[in-house]
């Protein structure tokens, strides 16, 4: 299978998303990591991004709320190469009407081989990695060749 290398710059484009039941966890995590996160470009779904800006003063480019298409918008930005990293505190025990959107978003992170954390422990490991502040060449399977597009 053919692969393509994609360069991720030192300053990352990081998307932050949290389901309602996990928003406070994400706010606490962002507050703890504010210094590090402030060195990168931040993106978020509507409610989550607005909360981070209002409560912590960090600039976050916001999209629609997740159930209204924000998860899909962030997925599109991943596919377009504009998001390098995803922190998504989701609630696996709560059924959401936009569960297919969540699955699609997680699928696209795998397709484009970007780091993704769905819980605080993984987010802690990712943000403390020395790779966060370095250029990084990620290897992406060339699905276009595989599927003839």
Q: Mean pLDDT per 10-residue run, the chain (149 residues)?
A: 92 96 96 98 96 97 93 96 96 76 93 96 97 95 76
- Residue-level pLDDT at 130: 95
Assess whether 91 carries a catalytic annotation.
no
| In-domain check, residue 74 | yes
Q: 96 lies in a domain?
A: yes
How many domains, the chain?
A: 1
The pTM for the full model equals: 0.93
- Identify the domain containing residue 62 by its residue range: 18-144
CA proximity to 140, closest of 48, 33, 4, 1: 4
pLDDT at 149: 60
What pLDDT is attached to residue 147? 72
The confidence score (pLDDT) of residue 102 equals: 86
Domain annotation covers residue 5: no
Catalytic site residue from 25, 71, 99, 124:
71
Rounded to whole angstroms, the Cα distance separating 142 from 4 reads 6
The verdict on residue 3 lying in a domain is no
Indicate which CATH number applies to the domain containing 122: 3.40.50.1380
pLDDT reported for residue 74 = 97
Structural contact between residues 29 and 42, judged by C-beta atoms closer than 8 angstroms: no
Q: What is the pLDDT of residue 101?
A: 85
Residue 115 lies in a domain: yes
Residue 4 covered by a domain:
no
Identify each DSSP E strand in 37-130 by its residue range: 41-44, 60-62, 85-89, 116-117
């Amino acid at each position: 299978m053919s692969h393509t290398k994609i360069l991720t710059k030192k300053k990352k484009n990081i998307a932050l998303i949290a389901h309602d039941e996990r928003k406070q966890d994400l706010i606490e995590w962002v507050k703890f990591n504010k210094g590090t996160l402030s060195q990168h470009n931040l993106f978020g779904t509507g409610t989550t991004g607005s909360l981070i800006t209002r409560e912590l003063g960090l600039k976050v480019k916001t999209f629609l709320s997740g159930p209204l298409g924000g998860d899909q918008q962030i997925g599109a930005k991943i596919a377009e190469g504009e998001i390098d990293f995803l922190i998504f505190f989701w609630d696996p025990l709560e059924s959401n009407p936009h569960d297919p959107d969540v699955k699609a978003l997680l699928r696209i992170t795998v397709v484009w081989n970007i780091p993704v954390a769905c819980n605080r422990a993984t987010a802690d490991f990712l943000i403390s990695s020395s790779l966060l502040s370095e250029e990084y060449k990620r290897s992406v399977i060339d699905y276009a060749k595989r599927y003839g597009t």
